[in-house]
Amino acid sequence: MSLEILGVLLHRNASEISRGGGPAFDVDMIQKMARAFDENDFDRVLILQNSFAPDPFAIANYAAAVTEKLAFMVAHRPGFVAPTMAARMFATLDNLSGGRAGVHVITGANDTELECDGDFHTKEERYHRSAEYVEIMRKVWSSGTPVDHNGTYYRFNNALSELKPVGGGAIPVYWGGSSPLALEKGAEVADVYAIGGLKPLDQMAGTVAQIRDAWARTGRPVRIQTSVRVIVGETEDASWKAAADVVEALRETALEQQRKIAGSDEAMSTGMRLDPKLATTKGGSGREELEAIAGGKDLLDKRLWTGITKASVSFSTPMLPPALVGTAEQVADAMMDYYAMGITGFLMRGFDLYGDIALHGRDLIPTLRRLAAEHDARVGLSETQPV
């Protein structure tokens, strides 16, 4: 199997527990983080997109210029740029970076946020549109002659890109979503399916089985990825102390935000809750699963700590998935349980965005690669063999 370690490249050094400071768009920090990811053996970074963030294409091109081997997963929302143009944009990034481009198709779960950019399609319509969009990009990448298209959402004649992805292949397409339609459409067009965050092993095994079933119906191979929040310490005691510090920092950050909204510096009691409008949109299987997890045990499986999820519910902040807590060896061992079920990509981050890059590169990533290689040797898999 092929282990892929990913990080998140933001336009400033920030996380859910940040208290502000520094420019809103920090070019120096983008360069420092990109180089740190490159130097600490991360394979790829996600560059996010939403209705208020800076342009991820521009950030990816800049990051490509200051790194050597780091690849990119550029979040991209179908519907705002024509797919023929997007195909040329990604092909250009791929050539400028020497074959390091990747696209993470973001269909979008929050209707209100998408309406900020003028998209009033339903979620179901967006998934159908996203699948058609990817099909068009693949046609443009692969065809040496002009192509026509007359579909549900797009129509064009004589589309052509003189620039192709490096090596004449296709740019990897990442895809996410938890609905049956998301699985169905992802299986038709995507290379990698991204699960939003860690769940208990039995639940994750069920999700993996659903993904595999969807892809089996199309006869296409799939790679599976998940997001992992980790809190790593030199010792187990140190890691749990760090976890407690994260909860306290989240509480303080939430209270500070509430004071700003209220226009008052008056201290608030720990039991007071934030304005629900600050929380993520309610509803949807993802949030419901997290709320159910938050109502259960503090520690699940080997290392899956629900304390951060419980805290996000208590403080009415955006929902945070459980985190793996422990030493590098302990966290890597817990991650291997997910790897063994066929999850080969881990988008990994802690709560100190920049500082954690070197920490993970020093201890956690080498341990993960060693354990993954040992697992593959035991079961007789090559590094590139699909699960």
Question: Which one has a higher pLDDT value, 202 or 314?
Answer: 202
pLDDT value of position 239: 97
pLDDT of residue 270: 37
Q: How confident is the model at residue 297 (pLDDT cuts 50, 70, 90)?
A: confident
Please, are residues 324 and 198 in contact by the beta-carbon 8 Å criterion? Answer: yes
Cα(139)–Cα(220) distance, rounded to whole angstroms? 17
Overall average pLDDT of the 27-36 stretch: 97
pLDDT greater than 70 at residue 156: yes
Nearest 5°: the CA angle 144, 148, 150 is 150
**Which residues is 159 bridged to in the sheet?**
147
Over residues 67-71, mean pLDDT: 98
What pLDDT sits at residue 285? 52
Residue 98 pLDDT > 90, yes or no? yes
pLDDT in tens, 221-274: 999 999 999 999 999 999 999 999 999 999 988 887 777 777 644 433 333 333
pLDDT at 168: 84
Q: What is the DSSP letter of 149?
A: E
Mean local confidence (pLDDT), 203-221: 95
List the one residue out of 252, 116, 102 whose CA is nearest residue 166. Answer: 102
Tokens in use for 188?
């038709």
Residue 7 · residue 348 · CB < 8 Å:
yes
Cα distances (angstroms) measured from residue 273 to each of 12, 207, 254, 270, 312: 27, 32, 9, 8, 10
**pLDDT number for residue 117:** 75
Q: Does residue 379 carry a pLDDT above 70?
A: yes
Distance in angstroms between the alpha carbons of the first and the last residue of the chain: 6
Q: What is the mean pLDDT of residues 62-72?
A: 98
Mean pLDDT of 136-158: 96
Average pLDDT taken over every residue of the chain: 89
**Considering the entire predicted model, what is its pTM?**
0.90
- Residue with structure tokens 């990994």? 348
The whole-angstrom separation of Cα 212 and Cα 189 is 14
- The percent of residues in the chain predicted with pLDDT above 70, rounded, is 91
pLDDT of residue 110: 81
As a whole number, mean pLDDT of residues 32-43 equals 98
**HEC string of 326-337?**
ECHHHHHHHHHH
Q: Is the pLDDT of residue 383 over 70?
A: no
Rounded to 10 degrees, the C-alpha dihedral 18/328/202/291 comes to: -20
CA dihedral 201, 207, 211, 214 (to 10 degrees): 140
Q: Which amino acid is at 112?
A: T
Query: What are 113-124's pLDDT values in tens digits?
Result: 888 878 888 889
- Six token digits for residue 282: 């309610």
Is pLDDT of 38 > 90? yes
Task: Check residue 91 and give left, alpha or beta (phi > 0: left; psi -120 to 50: alpha).
Answer: alpha
Query: Looking at residue 271, what is its pLDDT?
Result: 38
Query: What does the pLDDT read at residue 385?
Result: 55
**Does position 381 have pLDDT exceeding 90, yes or no?**
no
pLDDT at 88 over 70: yes
Q: Average pLDDT, stretch 4-28?
A: 89
Lowest-pLDDT range of 92-106, 110-124, 304-318, 330-344: 110-124
Asked whether 319 and 218 are in contact (CB, 8 A), the reply is: no
The answer to whether residue 306 scores a pLDDT higher than 50 is yes
Average pLDDT over residues 5-23: 87
Tens of pLDDT along 173-193?
Answer: 999 988 999 999 999 999 999
For residue 351, give the 3-state DSSP assignment.
coil
- Distance in angstroms (rounded) separating the CA atoms of residues 89 and 92: 5
User: What's the pLDDT score for residue 387?
Assistant: 41
Q: What values do phi and psi take at 159, rounded to 5?
A: -80, 140
Higher-scoring residue by pLDDT: 229, 168: 229
Bigger pLDDT: 283 or 142?
142
Please give the average per-residue pLDDT across 349-361, as a whole number: 96
